[in-house]
Amino acid sequence: MPEIKFYKHDPLPMEMHKVKIVQKLNLLPVRDRLNKIKEAGFNTFLLHNGDIFMDMLTDSGVNAMSDEMQSAMLRADDAYAGSETFYRMRDKLEDIFGIKYLLPTHQGRACEHIIARHFVKPGNCIIMNYHFTTSKAHITTLGGRVEELVKDEGLIAKSTLPFKGNIDLDKVKACIEKEGAENIPYIRIEAGTNLIGGQPISYENMKAVTELVKPYGIVTVLDASLLQDNLYFIKTREESMKDKSIREITRMIADLFDVIYFSARKFGFCRGGGILVRDEKMFHDMEDYITLYEGFLTYGGMSVKEMEAMTIGFEETMDFDVISQGPQFIKHCVDVLDDYGVPMITPGGGLGAHINAKEVLSHIPSEEYPAGALTAALYLCGGIRGMERGTMSEERNPDGSERIASVEMVRLAFPRRVFTLSQTEYVIDRVKWLYDHRDLVGGLRFVHEPKTLRFFTGRLEPVSDWPEKLVEAYAAEFGEDQ
C-alpha cells in the first residue's frame, strides 16, 4: 500500500483491515511467568498459550483469516474423493502460478518429505540458498547432504542490502563442478529465507540461478512458504519490478521453477500445504506418496474447510494492500529498536523482527545457547513468546559436538493481520528494557535433548539463578503484577 500521510506525525504502518472477532489476552504476573517457563524447561515451544501475552513464536497457522475466507468455509464440499473444493483450489493455484498439477499435503514439511523421498539418494547433495530446519532434516534422514550457498553478505547481521537471501552463483558453479551434476537431483530456493531473518531473494537472482542449473538437468524447486513477503520486497526493492503487479511478479517467478511447494500455514493464511509439479510424469511418480502418507489426492490430509479458505487466501495474497502490512510492521519494530541501539538483523525482512542474540548476550558462549536464553528472558520480561533461531535449532555434528549456528537470533514473528501497533510498541519497549539489563541474563544447558529437531521438545535449565535475578529487577521496574 502507498504510505499513508499524516498531518502532525511521522508516517506509521497502517492496518488496512478492521477487527471483527477478538480473542482475549492474559498477562500473568512476572513471578507466575517464572514458574511457567521453569515448567516448560526454558523452551518457549513448551509453554501453554494461555500463559502468553504476545505470542510471537511463529507466523505459521496463526494468521488472521478475512471475512471472505471464513464465509467460503461454509461452502466446503465434504467428500473423501473428488471434492469440488479441491478443484477450486487447484484451479486458483493454476491461475496464479500457471502450473496445473497439484499434490495436496497437510503442511509444508510434508511437501519436503515427499520431494526428498522422490529425489534424494544416499550421498546426494542438495543445493539451497539457505536451509530450513525441516527441509534439511528430511534430506539428511535419507542420507543426503545440504549445501547452503547464500552470498556471504547475507549472513552479516547489520546491513542495508535489499536481498540478503540471494544465492552466490560462483559458489553454485563450483559446487556443481565438485559434486558432479548427477549427484545433485535438485536445487531448493527459499523465498524468503526463514533462518537468516526472513530475508528476501531478488527475482533477478532466482532467474540467474535457475538458468545456470537447468542445462545440467538439475530440477529447480521453489519453497514458496514465505513468498508473500518476498513478493512485497521484490515490488518495493527491485527497481526493474516496481511497475509490475504482484500477480505478474508471481507468474514471472513461477515460470522459473519445475516444482513449487508451500506451507499454507504461511502462504494462504490457513493450515495445509501443496506441491505444484510442472511435469506430468513427475507428478504421477509422486502421487503414491500422497496416498500413502497424507490422504487421498483431493485432500492430502487437509480439512476441506481450510482448503476452501486458503483458496481465497491465495487470491488475497495477490493484493498489495494485504501483503504490505506484515513487512511494514516488522520494519517499524526493527527500525525503532535499531535506533535504540539494540542489535537487530537489518534491514527488516518478512516473517518477523529478529534480534541478534550473539551480540546482545556476547558474554554467553554459543554452547550455552544465547538465543535460547534471550528467548526465555523475553518471556519473563513481558510475557512475549519468541522463538530461538540459533545453535539450539541446529543438530549436533555426527561426533556429538555442537554445530554452532552462523546466526544466533531471537525471532519475534508477526502473524499476518493479527497484532496492532500498540501491541507492537509494547514489544519494542520490553525488548529495550531487556537489552538495557542484558548483563542479568545467563546461559542454558539441556536436561533432555532429542536427537532430531531438538528445539521443538528439548528441555533446558539455567546455568545459574539468573532468571530469579532478572525477575527481581523486572518487578522493581514495572511492579509485581506486570
Residues 212-231 that bind ligand F0G (CB under 6 A): 223, 225-226
Query: Which entry of 51, 55, 59, 223 is annotated as an active-site residue?
Result: 223
Q: Is 60 in the site for ligand F0G (CB under 6 A)?
A: yes
Q: Is 107 in the site for ligand F0G (CB under 6 A)?
A: yes
**Pairing of the two strands 145-148 and 101-105:** unpaired
List the beta bridge partners of residue 387.
Answer: 411
Q: Which residues contact 449 (CB under 8 A, 6 or more apart)?
A: 458
Residue choice 40, 52, 55, 58 for contact with ligand F0G (CB under 6 A): 58
Residues 131-190 that bind ligand F0G (CB under 6 A): 132, 134-135, 190
For residue 460, what are the CA distances in angstroms to 39, 51, 116, 364, 450? Answer: 10, 19, 32, 15, 11
Min dist CB 225 to ligand F0G, Å, is 4
Amino acid sitting at position 395? E
Residue identified by cell 527475482 is 203
Given the rule CB under 6 A, which of 74-82, 103-111, 202-210, 338-346 is the region that contacts ligand F0G?
A: 103-111
* Plot region of 358 (φ>0 → left; ψ -120 to 50 → alpha; else → beta): alpha
* Cis-peptide, bond into residue 347, ω within 30° of zero: yes
For residue 312, what are the CA distances in angstroms to 67, 83, 460? Answer: 10, 17, 41
Active site residue 319: no
Helix (H) or strand (E) holding 248: helix 246-254
Q: Which is nearer to ligand F0G, 58 or 391 (CB)?
A: 58
Query: Which entry of 24, 80, 152, 160 is annotated as an active-site residue?
Result: 80
Phi and psi (nearest 5°) for 16?
Answer: -100, 40
List the beta bridge partners of residue 186.
Answer: 219
Query: Which entry of 271, 389, 411, 454 is annotated as an active-site residue?
Result: 389
Q: Which is nearer to ligand F0G, 55 or 223 (CB)?
A: 223
Residue choice 36, 88, 109, 332 for contact with ligand F0G (CB under 6 A): 109
Q: Is 263 in the site for ligand F0G (CB under 6 A)?
A: yes
Residue identified by cell 556443481 is 176
CA dist., res. 92 & res. 102, Å (int): 11
Query: Which entry of 97, 132, 233, 329 is annotated as an active-site residue?
Result: 132
Given the rule CB under 6 A, which of 18-26, 105-113, 336-344, 402-410 is the region that contacts ligand F0G?
A: 105-113
Residue nearest to ligand F0G (CB): 108
Amino acid sitting at position 348? G
Q: Which is nearer to ligand F0G, 132 or 283 (CB)?
A: 132
Amino acid sitting at position 30? V
Q: Is 108 in the site for ligand F0G (CB under 6 A)?
A: yes
Min dist CB 198 to ligand F0G, Å, is 9
Phi and psi (nearest 5°) for 362?
Answer: -65, -15
Applying CB under 6 A, the site for ligand F0G has a residue count of: 16
The alpha carbon of residue 104 and the mean position of all alpha carbons in its chain are separated, in whole angstroms, by 20
Q: Which is nearer to ligand F0G, 109 or 305 (CB)?
A: 109
Active site residue 411: no
Contact 379, 28 (CB under 8 A): no
Min dist CB 193 to ligand F0G, Å, is 8
Active site residue 267: no
Cell of 423: 501491541
**Orientation of helix 304-317 relative to helix 84-97, angle to 10°:** 20
Active site residue 132: yes
Q: Which is nearer to ligand F0G, 203 or 466 (CB)?
A: 203
Active site residue 389: yes
Q: Which is nearer to ligand F0G, 223 or 368 (CB)?
A: 223
Min dist CB 203 to ligand F0G, Å, is 18
Query: Which entry of 164, 235, 266, 454 is annotated as an active-site residue?
Result: 266
The radius of gyration computed from the CA coordinates of the chain, to the nearest angstrom, equals 22
Residues 272-331 that bind ligand F0G (CB under 6 A): 273
Residues marked as catalytic:
80, 132-133, 223, 266, 389, 455
Residues near ligand F0G (CB under 6 A): 58, 60, 107-109, 132, 134-135, 190, 194, 223, 225-226, 263, 265, 273
